[in-house]
Structure 1
Amino acid sequence: MTSIDVRPTTPETDPKSSTHNYRLLWRWHFYAGVFVAPILFVMAVTGSIYLFKQPFEAWSQRDVREVAAVANPVPLADQVAAAQAVKPGVDIRAVIPPSGPDRSTRIIFQGADPGPFADGISVYVNPGDGQVLGVVDDAGTFMATVRKIHGELMAGVAGDRIVETAACWSLILIATGTCMWWTTRRRAAPKKRTRASLRRLHMWTGVGAGVAIVFLVLSGLPWSGFWGDYVNKAQAYFDSGYPEVTSTSTVSGDLSHHPDAKVPWAATNLPVPESEAHHGGGGGVLQPGAIALEAALAAARPAIRNCPPGECDLKMLLPAEPTGVYTVVTDHYRDPSAGQTLHVDQYSGKILTDYGWNEYGVLAKTVELGIAIHEGRRYGIVNLLVMLGACLALIGLIVTGVWMWWKRRPKGSVGAPRRPANGRTTWGVVALLAVLGLLFPLAGLTMVVMLVIDRVVQKVTA
């Protein structure tokens, strides 16, 4: 249960030894709530909004994304050239061909922000006549702002660490809240009706939505900077991530973070092969002598197993250096197991690597599936509604928890639960917190800080 649950149980009214454990649980539940409630509230609100990114942007940008049905599109290279005329001298990050005959071509250029949640600038081109339909600064869209608040509080790396710490602390809230509920589930409710109603609402919301909230937190952590790095190291150590490819370069970096121009999470650190010796040719967009975009896409298409229009986008990441490759990614809206990544030699058109779900390890598959469910797109409307319900439940837990604390706090006091008089029965609680602190290092570090603050406050108020 995720919030501040302040209850008036005392050793005098409940002489059982479990009261000591309950007091310690209550105290940590309180501190965790004070520390993370505002951040979790922001994350829950922005997360519930971001679930609707795809339909919202399809509607709000329909003037540049939709065109009259095109039977004979102009060459892709000409479309890219038209986009480059609008953004001269700016690096191209990705090209997204039309997903259907009535859709435009999207060319994503490097934006001004190089951060971990960097967005580019998208130029939309009509494939029928090669005319530019419009330019969208992806960093300035409504959903981009929502995502930056959700992932980093619009504060860069520092914000990312704060969000990650708050997410980890929410697990402490859930663990302590669940233990408190289990300990007191047969006790009588407070006599005052308002407080009893709030407690019941808080309790049953936490019990009903606790599993979904834990899933939201755990499936979102691989995106974080600190814990996400540990996940990458773990999958490398247990050989449970991506297949081996001999190379010195990877596709990680800005391309792996733009939501519409990225490879799958499981492939962000995958080694990338290098293009072979220069073969001549022409029609390349970035590198002299590289084959045309159509040729690279045509070389990849026979190997693409499943990417039906309307259900999947094809994305092309372009080579940025003479030894680079064309990277072709199939991005399914719902099914991560249907995704595929291919690397194509930019001079010969030879497919150098082709990997997808079958090549991923167990951990990489788990994370990919978790991300799809987290974003509410794996199992259609049911998935979306469940994730939306989890976000709304988290908001409800925070509101009811803060409300209970406000009604119970003594005037002129923070209202923190008193420390247990006897610590001999609290080792189980300490073990629980220690395990969570070890599994989630940022939470463990801040837990130590909270212990120090608690000791200082105790001495000052003694």
Structure 2
Amino acid sequence: MRWPSLLTIRRWHFYAGLFCIPFVLWLALTGSIYLFRPQIEALIDRPYAHVIPAAAPRRSAADQVAAAVAAVPGATLHRYQLPDTPEQAVQVIVGQAGRETRVYVHPGTLAVLKTVGEQDRLMRIVFRLHGELLAGDVGSYVVELAASWTIVMILTGLVLWWPRGGGLAGVVYPRLSAGGRRFWRDLHGVTGFWVSAMALLLLVSGLPWAKSWGSYLKAIRTVAEGSAGRQDWTIGSGGAGTAAMADAHAEHGGMRMAHPAMSYAPLDRLIATLRPLDLAAPVLIAPPTGAGEPWTAKSDAADRPRRTDLTLDGASGRVLTRTDFAQRRPIDRLVGYGVALHEGQLFGWLNQLVNLLTALGLMLLSISGVVLWWRRRPSGSLGAPADRDRVTSWPAAVSIGLLAVALPLFGLSLLVVLALERLLLRRLPEVRVWLGLSPIRAGAARSPAARSPGDC
């Protein structure tokens, strides 16, 4: 059996784009902002970066934590963030009734300088806008569905772009002087070529956060590597950016738990142990979850391959266990590299620049696609390429099947779309014509929607 015609591929490319473009624009915009999270958060925290001279006397970490806990009635310590410099305000994350609050404490006077809910921080809001549309798990499903169809859109777009004779003009560089539809077609095709590889990497590397695909990966991880264990990324709307300790500290993910009365005195011993280790900032120290349990510390660096997890003995301050990134499971390391790449932190400012250019390219790709569609859309029709290829193609069926296994929401939604088309849309004459589902009669004049693949 042969592959489907270019007209059929163009049709699926069109419908994928029609659904995806609003989400692509939204994800590209919010993702571009989140790329610069380290710089933005440093700017927000600038008033608290130099609150005390480096040589000035300061209170113990235990006193600092006590002041932070007292600032939020009924709260308990969740994490103590090791200051990057002696001049910084101390940041302590406390929890009360399932809500986490970040408290900025003056290290010398113990004055509370600022309190802010973890989920109310600007970049946490941007993160949730980007990953779940501020709609919790429902939004996560929607974003995952859009990402899955965007992958289909890019793959079908590459098939349509593939050179079929001629030179490099309109293939690797646009003919800017061409004008009209050719200009927009070149701009669309060439931009798609240059951004496709990085766009696919960003889409795939973002899927582990999604509610459905992340759970799918977790199940595969359990089957492939035994016990699921603790993972270093959140799934869906369950968790804050610093809640990677959530599996070891259930309350950090928002669950309530009983805390035994405890002393914060071990903190100073633990800090003395951790300082010489020179872990990548920020370093978070969390208390035991029960009697006899160890303290934990974690490098929560945005560049995830630099992260380290430790358990420590509160009485002596010594390190009990240490797990560096290289010691993690293969799937966890692969996801860690992907997440760091996705967030623009894997290879410094160059990673941010490449991601930003990719996001801008996706915006240009979306806008040019809309212009092409609007310019060629006939009156009284959606403008979808006509559905004339009804020949079964086993290579295409196998490819779609493999893609559906890799992207379950895509597979499920595809079945829904095909069933809706066959059982309903084709039975409504006006809808059938508007969607381009009616066969084209031999000898009939072609509408702009039924032009040959090379016309677009």
Do they superpose with TM above 0.5? yes
Give the secondary structure class of the aligned counterpart of 1:342.
Answer: strand
Offset at residue 147 of structure 1 (A): 1.2
Offset at residue 200 of structure 1 (A): 0.5
Structure 1 residue aligned with 2:42, among 44, 58, 66? Answer: 58
User: Which residue of structure 2 aligns with residue 415 of structure 1?
Assistant: 383
Q: 1:385 to 1:320 in 2, by over 3 A?
A: same
Q: Which digits, 9 at most, give the CA deviation of each residue in 1:136-158, with x for residues without a partner?
A: 23323332221111010110110
Aligned residue identity for 1:124: Y
Is 1:73 aligned to residue 58 of structure 2?
yes
Offset at residue 111 of structure 1 (A): 6.8
| CA–CA separation in structure 2 for the residues paired with 1:65 and 1:111 | 26
Q: Does the 8 Å CA contact 1:240/1:364 hold for their aligned counterparts?
A: no
User: Which residue of structure 2 aligns with residue 394 of structure 1?
Assistant: 362
Offset at residue 348 of structure 1 (A): 5.9
Structure 1 residue aligned with 2:103, among 123, 126, 150? Answer: 123
Is 1:201 aligned to residue 201 of structure 2?
no
Normalised by the length of structure 2, the TM-score is 0.81
| CA–CA separation in structure 1 for the residues paired with 2:232 and 2:129 | 26
Q: Which digits, 9 at most, give the CA deviation of each residue in 1:157-210, with x for residues without a partner?
A: 100111111111111111111111126565998998321111111111111110
Structure 2 residue aligned with 1:83, among 65, 68, 89? Answer: 68
Q: 1:241 to 1:69 in 2, by over 3 A?
A: farther
Q: Which digits, 9 at most, give the CA deviation of each residue in 1:207-250, with x for residues without a partner?
A: 111000001011111111221122223333332998x8xxxx99
User: Which residue of structure 2 aligns with residue 458 of structure 1?
Assistant: 426
Name which of structure 1's ranges 407-416 and 352-361 shifts more when overlaid on structure 2: 352-361
User: Which residue of structure 1 aligns with residue 435 of structure 2?
Assistant: none
Give the secondary structure class of the aligned counterpart of 1:29.
Answer: helix
Aligned residue identity for 2:239: H
User: Which residue of structure 2 aligns with residue 234 of structure 1?
Assistant: 220
Aligned pairs for 1:207-356 within 5 A: 207-239=193-225, 257-263=239-245, 287-288=261-262, 292-300=266-274, 304=277, 306-307=278-279, 312-334=281-303, 336-346=304-314, 349=317, 351-356=319-324
Q: Which digits, 9 at most, give the CA deviation of each residue in 1:45-85, with x for residues without a partner?
A: 10001111111121123223432333343101101111122
Name which of structure 1's ranges 369-378 and 413-422 shifts more when overlaid on structure 2: 413-422
Offset at residue 422 of structure 1 (A): 4.0
Is 1:448 aligned to residue 430 of structure 2?
no
Q: Does the 8 Å CA contact 1:77/1:294 hold for their aligned counterparts?
A: yes
Q: 1:98 to 1:286 in 2, by over 3 A?
A: farther
Q: Does the 8 Å CA contact 1:27/1:419 hold for their aligned counterparts?
A: yes
User: Which residue of structure 1 aligns with residue 396 of structure 2?
Assistant: 429
Structure 1 residue aligned with 2:344, among 342, 352, 376? Answer: 376
Could you list the structure 1 runs, at least 4 aligned residues long, displaced by more than 6 angstroms after superposition. 187-192, 249-256
Aligned pairs for 1:14-25 within 5 A: 20-25=4-9
Offset at residue 351 of structure 1 (A): 3.6
Q: 1:342 to 1:205 in 2, by over 3 A?
A: same
Offset at residue 367 of structure 1 (A): 1.2
User: Which residue of structure 1 aligns with residue 254 of structure 2?
Assistant: none
Q: 1:250 to 1:339 in 2, by over 3 A?
A: closer
| CA–CA separation in structure 1 for the residues paired with 2:248 and 2:227 | 9
Structure 2 residue aligned with 1:102, among 75, 87, 108? Answer: 87
User: Which residue of structure 2 aligns with residue 173 of structure 1?
Assistant: 153
Aligned residue identity for 1:106: Q
| CA–CA separation in structure 1 for the residues paired with 2:315 and 2:238 | 24
Any unmatched runs of 5+ in structure 1? 1-16, 273-284
Q: Does the 8 Å CA contact 1:48/1:391 hold for their aligned counterparts?
A: yes
Normalised by the length of structure 1, the TM-score is 0.80
CA RMSD of aligned residues (A): 3.2
Name which of structure 1's ranges 426-435 and 221-230 shifts more when overlaid on structure 2: 426-435
Query: How many residue pairs end up in the alignment?
Result: 412
| CA–CA separation in structure 2 for the residues paired with 1:390 and 1:262 | 28
Q: 1:78 to 1:370 in 2, by over 3 A?
A: same
User: Which residue of structure 2 aligns with residue 92 of structure 1?
Assistant: 77
Aligned residue identity for 1:167: A
Offset at residue 286 of structure 1 (A): 6.0
Any unmatched runs of 5+ in structure 2? 251-258, 433-437, 439-456
| CA–CA separation in structure 1 for the residues paired with 2:326 and 2:194 | 35
